[in-house]
Amino acid sequence: MAKLVRRQVGFSGTRSVTGPFTWGQRQIWRDIQLMPDAAFYNVSQVLLTAEGLQLDDVLDQLTALLGRHESLRTLFGADDAGDLRQRVLAKGEVEVEVLLADSDTDHDIVGLFEEEERRLVGVAFDNAVEVPFRALIGVLDGMPRVLILCVSHLAADLLSVRILVDELSAALTALIAGRRPPEVPTSRQPIDQAEWERSAEGIRRMDKALHYWAGQLSTVPPS
């Protein structure tokens, strides 16, 4: 019979920093406040892993992923003045669930993992105190075969989560082949994007975008 256990995964980054939300995060925050169930804004993806990995291989790559992407270790909320702020954690831990299944006793393996994905995604994040990242590793007959990621939409959209899965897939495939995981190019972090949006150039582009969409919407008949 399948058994669920939990492992603590530490993470560390290069900085601890606080800053404003991005424009997109502000909109998602507003939408979450209006939804009766904030779990609607959880984003999930599933990665099927090939044979040849150990559980610690997957846990190590989750540690690297959290260290590389600041949004996955960021807390979101309003400060005492009511301003929306995000705080990147330089270090900490996240709990990763591990589902141990046995093909001799667990006959509906696919259904079992699908049920676990629904459970993982069905609980809203408490973004003020909880990092916006969850993971479950499905271990079948002693070997990790499924990795489920769940991320708050405040931290990543569906396309971004697919990029995370691609990074993990490339790293794990390299490990199976006896190679080092490939280097991942650095990119602008969300908190840096938020600061850019408040710059003169960012404000100019926002005004231009608003002007464009105001013109487009003015041609649409009122409903």
Q: How far apart are CA 119 and CA 57, in angstroms?
A: 24
pTM passes above 0.85: yes
The residues near 131 (Cβ < 8 Å, ≥ 6 apart) are: 72, 73, 74, 75, 89, 92, 94
d(CA 206, CA 208): 5
Integer Cα distance of 111 and 130 in angstroms: 28
Calpha distance 97→135 (Å, rounded): 6
* Predicted confidence pLDDT, tens digits, the chain (223 residues): 889 999 999 999 999 999 999 999 999 999 999 988 999 999 999 999 999 999 999 999 999 999 999 999 999 999 999 999 999 999 999 999 999 999 888 788 889 899 999 999 999 999 999 999 999 999 999 999 999 999 999 999 999 999 999 999 999 999 999 999 999 988 899 999 999 999 999 999 989 999 999 989 889 887 6
Amino acid in position 84: L
β-pairing, 133-140 vs 91-101, is parallel
Query: Residue 63 has which token pair?
Result: 């540690």
**Residue pair 7/96 in contact by the 8 Å Cβ criterion:** yes
Whole-number Å distance between alpha carbons of 4 and 105:
15
Assigned CATH class of 3-187: alpha beta
pLDDT reported for residue 223: 67
- The domain spans of the chain are 3-187
The answer to whether the CB of 46 falls within 8 A of the CB of 117 is yes
Contact predicate 112/29, CB 8 Å: no
